[in-house]
Amino acid sequence: MGQAEIMNFVDGAFVTGASTFDKLSPVDGQVTATVHEAGRAEVDAAVRAARRALDGPWGRTSVADRARVLRRIADRIEERFEDFVEAEVRDTGKPVAQARQLDVARAVANFRSFADTVSASGLDSYLTELPGGHRALNYAIAQPLGVVAVIVPWNLPLLLLTWKVAPALACGNAVVVKPSEETPSTATLLAEVMADAGVPAGVYNVVHGFGPSSAGEFVTTHEGIDGVTFTGESGTGSAIMRAVAPAVRPVSFELGGKNAAIVFADADLDKAVDGLSRSVFANTGQVCLCTERVYVQRPVYDDVVAGLVAKARQLRLGRPEHPDTTTGPLISVAHREKVLSYLALARDEGAETLVGGGVPDLGPDLASGAWVEPTLWAGLDHGARTVREEVFGPVAALIPFDHEEDAVRLANDTRYGLAAAVWTQNLERGHRVAQRMRVGVAWVNTWFLRDLRSPFGGVGLSGIGREGGRHSLHFYTQPTNVCVQL
C-alpha cells in the first residue's frame, strides 16, 4: 500500500485544503497518506454546495428515484469492494478478513436496507369529523431535514459513515461529512462511488481535519447546517451539543459505553466464553458495543475466567494481510498511551492481571505501531475507575456475583447505557434480565447481532435518539401536516 494523497470533496470535485497533515499507519508508524485539511473556506463551500443541491433537482427527487440511487451506490461499492477493503485496512490496521466480512459488506447492506426502508415508509393520515357534519383530511408529508453534518469516528469508519449517509440521502438530504482525521480514506473513496452512481454534485461532500479550531468545529457551528449526527466519544458529543444549542439544531448521538455482560451459572459456558471473547476483543476492543465489565455468577466464575484467558492467549497480533492475524493494533500511538494509562491504573487499584497488561514484542518492523496486549483483570472493586470509565481497548474486568438482583444492580450502576449481554439457558430469566437493563440494546446469548430495521442507540452518556430502519428516517425528515377542510 503506497502513500496516498487524500483531498476534500466539495460540490462534486476534489479540492485542496488550507493545509495538510500526515496520516500514520497504526501498524508500523509509517506515513500512509497526506491529507488536505479543510479550513473555514472549504467548509463554507461544502455547506453552500449542499444547499444548492437541495434547492436544485435533488430536492425534487421522488422516494422511488432516491431508492434507486441508493441501490446503485451499493452496486458500485461491490464493484470496488477490494479498494474499500484496502482503504479501510490502511487507515485502521484491522485484519483484512474483518474488513471484508464486516466493514465493507455492511456498507453495502446499509445502502440496500435503507433503500428498502424508505420505499416502504409511510406517514399518518386522519379523517377528522367536525361539527355540522363537515370533515377535514389531515395528512403528513416528509420533508428533508436539510443540510446534515455527519461526524464519523475512526473505529468502524466506513460502516458508521454509510449507516448515517444512506438514510440521510434516502430522505432527500444533502450531507457534509467530517471523517476522523485518523481514518480519512473510505469517506473519500465513497465520494468517487457517489459520482459514479449519479449522485448530483453537492449532495455528498467531505471535509477533512480535526475537531476544535478545525473542520469539525467549522462544520458544527456553520449557520447553514440544519442538524448534526455524530458517533463517537461522549465528551465530544457534549461539545457538539454546546455548539448547536444557540441555533436549537437537532442532534442524533451514539456515544460511548461501559458495557456489561452477565453470565449466569446455568449458561452454556462454551457459547458464553466464545461470545465474550468476541465482545471483549473484537476490533481490538475498539467498538462502542464491546464488553468491558463481565459479571459472572460465583459457581462458574473460575471456569469462565479460565476459558476467557485461554481465548485471549489464542489471539494472534500481526500485520493485517497475514492470514493468521486475528487482532490488529489500536488506532494510534496516542490512543495506545490512553489505554496503557488504564493498564497502569488498574494495577494501582489492586487488579490481578490475568493475561496481557502491556505492550507485545512483535519485532522491530512493528515496534512503532500502536500495539497493546489483550488484557483481563480480576480482583477489581466495582467502584474502581477502571470499572467505571470507558477504556476503549481490548480489556475487561471480571467480577463475581451471587444473585440475579446483584447482577442487575451492578450492570446498571453506570453513567452509560449503550449495550448489555445476558448469558443463560433459562430464557424466562434471559427475557426478564434483558428487559431490566438500562441500555439501548440488550442481547441474550449473543452479541453484535443486528437487524438493521431495529432501533439502535443509547441512554445516559451513551447518546440521544435512535438509528436503524424507520427510526433513522425520523431524524432525517421533518413532518409537515396538511389539513384540508372537505
- Give the residue numbers marked as catalytic: 254, 288
Q: Positive or negative CA dihedral for 315, 278, 237, 154?
A: positive
Name the burial class of residue 52, with classes exposed (0-12), middle (13-18) and buried (19+) by CB atoms within 10 angstroms of its CB.
Answer: middle
How many CB atoms neighbour CB 460 within 10 A? 18
How many CB atoms neighbour CB 423 within 10 A? 28
Q: How far is CA 25 from CA 29, 81, 190, 350, 446, in A?
A: 5, 21, 21, 34, 33
The rounded distance, in Å, linking the Cα atoms of 140 and 295 is 47
CB 331 within 8 A of CB 156: no
Written as one string, the DSSP assignment of 250-288 is -EEEE----EEEEE-TTS-HHHHHHHHHHHHHGGGG-ST
Kindly provide the residue ranges of all beta strands, DSSP E only, lying in 70-162, ordered along the sequence: 125-129, 135-144, 147-151
Residue 182 gets which letter from DSSP? T
Kindly provide the residue ranges of all beta strands, DSSP E only, lying in 50-172, ordered along the sequence: 125-129, 135-144, 147-151
Residue 365 gets which letter from DSSP? G
CB 448 within 8 A of CB 279: yes
The rounded distance, in Å, linking the Cα atoms of 288 and 450 is 14
Residue 478 gets which letter from DSSP? E
Name the residue among 396, 393, 385, 441 with its Cα closest to residue 417.
Answer: 441
| CA quadruple 187, 1, 394, 305: dihedral, nearest 10 | 130
Q: Positive or negative CA dihedral for 217, 219, 221, 227?
A: negative
